[in-house]
Amino acid sequence: MHPLIKLGILSVGSKVGAEIILKLAKHPVLLMAMGIGSGLYINKHRKDILEAAQQLKDQGLAIVKKKD
């Protein structure tokens, strides 16, 4: 898939997601449910999230070292 198509899909998806979250955030029960759901997801996938964060950190350091 062409990078511009991916960028378009990501931008549309993020816009739609933001609108949904803003509508749900107006209802306290739904806001609590979103918090519980995201907490469960993060707890379940915490190792993968930490590995991805470490990879991003390493990539950032590699870019900084190339510039010097």
Q: 40 with 33: CB under 8 angstroms?
A: no
Q: How far apart (Å, rounded) are the C-alpha atoms in residues 13 and 33?
A: 21
**Higher pLDDT, residue 67 or 29:** 29
Question: Which pLDDT value is given to residue 4?
Answer: 78
54, pLDDT greater than 80:
yes
The model's confidence at residue 7, banded by pLDDT at 50, 70 and 90, is confident
21 Cβ contact list (under 8 Å, min separation 6): 34
67, pLDDT greater than 80:
no
2, pLDDT greater than 80:
no
The model's confidence at residue 41, banded by pLDDT at 50, 70 and 90, is very high
